Amino acid sequence: MNTIEQPCYTLIHSSSDAEQPSEMQLKQDLENGDLNAKCLALKKTIQLILNGERLPNILMTVIRFVMPLEDHTIKKLLLVFWEIVPKTTPDGKLLQEMILVCDAYRKDLCHPNEFIRGSTLRFLCKLKEPELLEPLMPTIRQCLEHRHSYVRRNTVLAIFTIYKNFDFLIPDAPELISTFLETEQDMSCKRNAFMMLIHADQERALNYLSTCIDQVNSFGDILQLVIVELIYKVCHANPNERARFIRCIYNLLNSSSPAVRYEAAGTLVTLSSAPTAIKAAANCYIELIIKESDNNVKLIVLDRLVALKDTPLHEKILQELAMDILRILSTPDIEVRRKTLRLVLELVTTRTVNEMVEVLKKEVGKTHNTVEHEDTGKYRQLLVRTLHSVSMKFSDVTASIIPILMDFLSDTNELAARDVLVFIREAIQRFEVLRPQIIDRLLSMLPTIQSMTVHCHSLWILGEYASTTEEIEGVVSSLKSTLGDLPLVEDEMKKAAGELGESENQSDKQQQPQQQQQQQQTPHHQQKTDDRPPLRKFLLEGNFYLGSVIANTLVKLSFRYFKLEPNVKRQNLFSAEIMLILSAIVHLGKSGLPQKPMTDDDFDRIMLCLQVISERSPGLEQVFTAQCRTSLSLMLSAQAEEQAAGRKQRRKEKVVEHVDDHIRFSHLIRGSDPAQSDDIFELSMNMAVSGTKKEGLDLSSSKLNKVTQLTGFSDPVYSEAYVHINQYDIVLDVLMVNQTSDTLQNCTFELATLGDLRLVEKPQPVVLAPNDFCNIKANVKIASTENGFIFGNIVYDVKGSTSDRNVVILEDIHIDIMDYIVPASCTDLEFRQMWSEFEWENKVTVNTHMTDLKGYMNYLCKSTNMKCLTPEKALSGDGNYLAANLYAKSIFGEDALANLSIEKAINKDDAAVTGHIRIRSKSQGMAISLGDKVNKVQKLTLKSAAAS
């Protein structure tokens, strides 16, 4: 078996469309060219070798004509060349020419220039041939005494690497480096030497640390970081050593380096669960977030605080620091603020809630006094939602929050104002004591509201909860003042006529009303609307949905007024006043004065309300006055149940060990001991290499599911690939099997991509013996969320054959969009906002034999990795139609929205589901790819139905 796993340290990009020079041309340039020509030829040689070209005759040319040169650029290029050039024969023996190269290494290690010495020593770390390293060992030892620190620290690295790979070449390396460490003064050299002792002879490293543990704070940050790593590893392996080194970790929390403080805090948390240790680490994290300027660092450290909060023992300690965490809100980045508010909301208690509300009030005030920016509006919205959650959690502070939030109703940012109204709606429903205060404040704010949507929500609340005659009359009075003088059409015509000027003839003013309206239409659109009352302005713009909201509000108020007022005469006066307002709105809608005419739906709604007021039917009274509030109560209780279920689910997910898990002996140690957990340095390295950790994943089955057969069983070369997708990277682990009795030379796995994919490196050619096999790897980068294809072929030569190269065409590898889409959540308001903003829509028709509406929706969610945002209670029950909103997010931060509208024929249990799915996203590729995925999973249902 051949496994192509050659050591590789250098990646150099080369343009694939550039003209490739011949070996003869390169040799001429290397022999006879000037210095620049030799540099250019050597660069091209390196690129060709990296791309798999074999240049067997170029090695001696480089040794004769390039290696003797003293130019620094040439020296640097030669180090790359020696790294990648083949140094052995096919049978594994060292090439004879490498003896000359070894002598050149030795001369460079004795060179008077420290840069050449140091770079040569760094290069020796990459050599994997002990035959080349053995003659150089005395010279490497001498470099430990060089006057320049650059040479000494690279010497330590070289000795460390050589000892790790070939300890027989320098068996006394730990003792040598320990002696060097005691006399060395440069921090970078000490760091490298100490790091080597940690990995090579930990006992010597501990002895050195014990001698200078009181001086650790005076060391450089690079050495302090290595000391933190050593202390963690020692205490992780032997918990009894904690008392010896824990004070050193405490001291490092005050280091001048942010990196050292961060690592020390993380180590302290893993080594001790004492309240003082957790509090010190949390304070260190908070100070790092406040003082660090990089927002990415802030988010990373915030994640550490969130992880601390998720541990039940540590949560109570963090609750005491909730006010300190609020200091992070001084950061202008919206993501940092969002995560901070979410964290603080979970840490707030009855003891800190009043202080927290005062801080949030100040933050609300700051958003009024700053220049309006996109993030300012979002931050204001976050503050509103946080105060909403706090007031629902602690009802005592609701009364003090309401006046502050009411000021947002007149804000130009509609999102914040709508969130305020959602909060007011829930507060006025839950806290009856606060209703008079909220009604009074809402009435005073009504004339200042600038958004039609906010007006609609405010009027609904007023119509639903105004419960005394004074409040009802106040609402009607405010409505009349925000509509202006009635009737609306006559008042508008008078204003328009007055603006035409006194020079008009009296006969023109006495024309028929219809002709006069047509004459005034054009001047009306050019008329200034700033002095008009707000509701009239919205109606003249054609927003007659507001008119239907006014009609509903007035009907509710009328029924409530009739119950409260026993005087029939006053009841009739009130009804007449209401009917005048509604008829004036209808007249305005049909007059032709507004920019857009009234729709039939709005007209029918207002006329229905007029009829209800005139007839005063008891059945309709029940609908308007009782059932609306009952529906709201049911919706709020459903939301509360859903949130409680979510919290319960999160608590379940915190279970670290289950009763039927395998027992490790380290579990017999106390739970606070770090020995029971894995090495955090190893875990972080594994996560950095392999991506995020996936819980509950059966690797044996998932790998088999992702194996793609690329060629047929009867092809000369059989090939299959395991496709591993890790965030932005796709790794193809390819197996190639020679099924012939011939030796296949220059067997090359050639790939190309379609879509937003890019091949990172070209797989190297291999030689396959008869019936032999090998594994090769290819890396592909992903740039966006859309479907992609990888295709190509296998090209090879048969040994001894004079025919052309042989080609085996490969099956296409389909990169599924589902591999980088995950379910996500958002609020209804956010969903509607994104739905209106996203411009790319893909409408997919439902085509399936499935007969269950909810079953089809669940199948779709499971197949597309989307989450259903519609509450479970809204989907419960029997019916012949279903509508639901679905949402998902990609690893690139892109949002995917879907609206499912399906139905089935009435009284036909075996009728198939019909309807459509509307998919929206910000990018065209994601909308199309998700639509293709939906069509694909629908075809599977058709095939399974046909098979059954």
The torsion region of residue 2 among left (phi > 0), alpha (psi -120 to 50) and beta comes to: beta
d(CA 45, CA 21): 9
Residues 769 and 811 in one domain: yes
3-class secondary-structure state, position 708: strand
d(CA 578, CA 565): 15
CB atoms within 10 A of CB 412: 10
3-class secondary-structure state, position 632: helix
Residue 693: is its pLDDT beyond 80? no
For 378-436, the pLDDT digits (tens) are 788 788 888 888 887 887 888 888 877 777 777 666 677 777 888 888 888 877 888 88
Tell me the average pLDDT across 292-299.
85
Residues 453 and 365 in one domain: yes
Tell me the average pLDDT across 288-301.
86
The pair of structure tokens assigned to 686 is: 């594994």
d(CA 483, CA 538): 10
3-class secondary-structure state, position 903: strand
Is 909 a domain residue?
A: yes
Residues 323 and 355 in one domain: no
CATH number of the domain that residue 801 is part of: 2.60.40.1480
**Cβ atoms of 335 and 299 closer than 8 Å:** yes
Residue 23: is its pLDDT beyond 60? yes
Residue 255: is its pLDDT beyond 60? yes
Residue 670: is its pLDDT beyond 60? no
Residues 810 and 866 in one domain: no
- Environment class of residue 238 by beta-carbon count within 10 Å: exposed (0-12), middle (13-18) or buried (19+)? exposed
3-class secondary-structure state, position 802: coil
Residue 55: is its pLDDT beyond 80? no
Residue 713: is its pLDDT beyond 60? yes
d(CA 457, CA 419): 11
H/E stretch holding 747 reads strand 744-754
Type of residue at 234 = V
Is 300 a domain residue?
A: yes
Q: Report CA torsion sign: 565, 568, 569, 572.
A: positive
d(CA 187, CA 136): 26
More confident residue, 502 or 329: 329
More confident residue, 31 or 368: 31
> What pLDDT is attached to residue 259?
87
More confident residue, 272 or 802: 272
Q: What is the DSSP string of 559-588?
A: HHHHHH---HHHHHHHHHHHHHHHHHHHHH
Confidence of residue 10 (pLDDT cuts 50, 70, 90): low
Residues 367 and 458 in one domain: yes
> Among candidates 7, 2, 4, which has minimal Cα distance to 165?
7
> What pLDDT is attached to residue 498?
66
Confidence of residue 135 (pLDDT cuts 50, 70, 90): confident
Confidence of residue 452 (pLDDT cuts 50, 70, 90): confident
Q: Which of the residue ranges 16-20, 44-48, 392-396, 411-415 would you say has the lowest mean pLDDT?
A: 16-20
Tell me the average pLDDT across 593-612.
84
Residues 485 and 454 in one domain: no
Boundary residue ending a domain (756, 781, 815): 815
User: What's the half-sphere exposure (Cβ side, CA atoms, 13 Å) at 606?
Assistant: 25
Is 670 a domain residue?
A: no
The pair of structure tokens assigned to 312 is: 């039940």
The pair of structure tokens assigned to 497 is: 């006529």
d(CA 387, CA 356): 9
Residue 349: is its pLDDT beyond 80? yes
Is 342 a domain residue?
A: no
Share of the chain above pLDDT 90, in %: 1
H/E stretch holding 808 reads strand 806-809
Tell me the average pLDDT across 311-330.
85
Is 635 a domain residue?
A: no
**Cβ atoms of 933 and 838 closer than 8 Å:** no
Q: Tokens 């027992």 sit at which residue?
A: 663
Whole-angstrom Cα Rg for the chain: 38
Range of the domain at 711: 706-815
d(CA 325, CA 355): 12
Boundary residue ending a domain (286, 305, 331): 331
For 647-668, the pLDDT digits (tens) are 666 555 554 555 555 555 444 4
Residues 322 and 277 in one domain: yes
Residues 713 and 801 in one domain: yes
Residues 804 and 847 in one domain: no
Share of the chain above pLDDT 70, in %: 83
Length of the chain as a residue count: 948
3-class secondary-structure state, position 754: strand
- Environment class of residue 849 by beta-carbon count within 10 Å: exposed (0-12), middle (13-18) or buried (19+)? middle
Type of residue at 661 = D
The torsion region of residue 909 among left (phi > 0), alpha (psi -120 to 50) and beta comes to: alpha
Is 736 a domain residue?
A: yes
Separation of CA 88 from chain center: 47
Is 771 a domain residue?
A: yes
Q: What is the pTM of this model?
A: 0.67
Q: To the nearest whole number, what is the mean pLDDT of the chain? A: 78
Residue 476: is its pLDDT beyond 80? yes
Residues 391 and 302 in one domain: no
Tell me the average pLDDT across 617-645.
72
> Among candidates 517, 558, 525, 530, which has minimal Cα distance to 541?
525
**Cβ atoms of 785 and 817 closer than 8 Å:** yes
3-class secondary-structure state, position 760: coil
Confidence of residue 508 (pLDDT cuts 50, 70, 90): very low
> What pLDDT is attached to residue 648?
66
Number of domains in the chain: 5
The pair of structure tokens assigned to 71 is: 């130019």
> What pLDDT is attached to residue 238?
76
Tell me the average pLDDT across 924-934.
84
> What pLDDT is attached to residue 203?
83
Residues 823 and 943 in one domain: yes
Residue 863: is its pLDDT beyond 70? yes
The pair of structure tokens assigned to 366 is: 């700051």
Residues 871 and 807 in one domain: no
The pair of structure tokens assigned to 559 is: 């029924």
Where are the alpha helices (H) located in 292-397, listed in sequence order?
295-310, 312-319, 322-325, 334-347, 353-368, 374-393
> What pLDDT is attached to residue 768?
84
**Cβ atoms of 915 and 901 closer than 8 Å:** yes
Q: Which of the residue ranges 477-486, 592-601, 765-774, 813-822 would you say has the lowest mean pLDDT?
A: 813-822
Cα angle 79, 85, 89; round to 5: 140
Boundary residue ending a domain (573, 591, 621): 621
**Which residues, other chains included, contact 356 with Cβ-Cβ below 8 Å and sequence gap of 6+?**
322, 323, 326, 344, 348, 390
d(CA 498, CA 502): 8
**Cβ atoms of 189 and 175 closer than 8 Å:** no
Tell me the average pLDDT across 70-80.
84
Residue 673: is its pLDDT beyond 80? no
For 717-771, the pLDDT digits (tens) are 999 988 877 666 778 888 999 988 888 888 888 888 876 677 777 777 888 888 8
> What pLDDT is attached to residue 519?
42
d(CA 378, CA 333): 11
> What pLDDT is attached to residue 525?
41
Is 68 a domain residue?
A: no
Instruction: Give the relative orientation of helices 23-32 and 35-50 as an angle to the nearest 10 degrees.
Output: 150
> What pLDDT is attached to residue 522?
41
